[in-house]
Chains A and B, each alone.
Chain A
Amino acid sequence: MKRAGLHKPGDTFSIRRGPITTTQLVMYAGASGDFNRIHYDYPFAVQKGLGGVIAHGMLTMAFAASCAVEAFGQANRISRLDARFTAPVRVGDVVDVTATVVERSTPDDLIEATLTAEVDGRVVLKGVVEVAPAAEAMP
């Protein structure tokens, strides 16, 4: 079984993304199909009471998923990924994501980890990921 990195409860792994640029938000809008103007139209976002453009929540969640894939290895398969967005992410923000193993179950060998994304120590995303071993990954 191929496991890169994390194995036992308490193990942690972190990645850093950013600083977020408006260009990246436009790229993400195009790649994802989410063209809500609050993500790239500054006057519109201000008019809507957001104080400026905010990043797509799903961009932050993509960072969290990247952290999980890197932490557990590309051969392993994510069976479950959940996240809640707790604060907005803005242009210029640097996002740190940390995966922390909570549990490794037997005999199915599923690993459950929490995912936390922070900007300057402020939590912007809280999530959970469940990773299945590579041996079970292929249909």
Chain B
Amino acid sequence: MSDRADIDRSLIGSSAAPFAVEVEKGAIRRFAEAIGDTAAIYFDEAFARSLGYRGIVAPPTFPTTFRPPAKPAWIRGLDEGRILAGEQGFRYQRPIFAGDRLQCELRLTDMQDKRSSKGDMVLIIQDLIVTAPSGDMVCVNRRVVIYRGQTVTLAQGATS
């Protein structure tokens, strides 16, 4: 456990300071371009409206761009080189559209020890709760990252 002194379990259940996001069509376009997706609902407002949408639609994983202005306390002391993507989940009440002004809260839900054949790891389970100004839930994005122990390496082709 000596290499995990930077994991602070007392923060479980706490949240980063709430933050607001404004969803811009330029940000949606750049995201869609980065992921190589040419679906017209991400670029063409008239087309999106023709399908009944309120405006340009954000791709399903777009809430990953909703980041607190500063790293949350439970991430701040970690070595970024040892953080890997573990799992992600999205629960949508409605799609996200260009022009949306949304309120976000990132919560540290749990930290769990995990042993694997390649060494010890900690799963850091975070939930991003996204709400509309009305207070209505828009989506929840569960973000699980793996914090590798110092001895855990990931050679070419190995599984994470």
Contact residues of A with B, CB < 8 Å?
2, 17, 24, 27-28, 30-34, 36-38, 44-45, 47-52, 54, 56-59, 61-63, 65-66, 68-70, 74-75, 77-88, 90, 122, 134, 137-139
Give the shortest distance, in Å, between A47 (CB) and chain B (any CB).
Answer: 7
Q: How far is the CA of A56 from the CA of B80 in the complex (A)?
A: 13
In the bound complex, how far is the Cα of B60 from the Cα of A70, in angstroms?
12
Do residues B52 and A75 form an inter-chain contact, with CB atoms below 8 A? yes
A-B contact count (CB 8 A): 150
Q: A27-B33, A49-B152 are contacts. A81–B85 as well, Cβ < 8 Å?
A: no
Determine whether B135 belongs to the interface, using a CB cutoff of 8 Å to chain A. no
Q: Is the CB of B160 within 8 A of A69?
A: no
Question: Within 8 Å of chain A (Cβ to Cβ): is B64?
Answer: yes
Segment touching A, from B12-20, B36-44, B109-117: B36-44
User: Contact between B87 and A79 (Cβ–Cβ < 8 Å)?
Assistant: no
- Least CB separation from A80: chain B residue: B91
Residues of B within 8 A of A45 (CB): 81
Beta-carbon contact of B61 and A69 below 8 Å: no
CA distance A54 to B157 in the complex (A): 11
B46 interface hit (Cβ, 8 Å):
no
B154 within 8 A of partner (CB): yes
Q: Are B88 and A58 in touch, CB under 8 angstroms?
A: yes
Of B27, B40, B86, B159, which is in contact with the most chain A CB atoms at under 10 Å from its CB?
Answer: B159
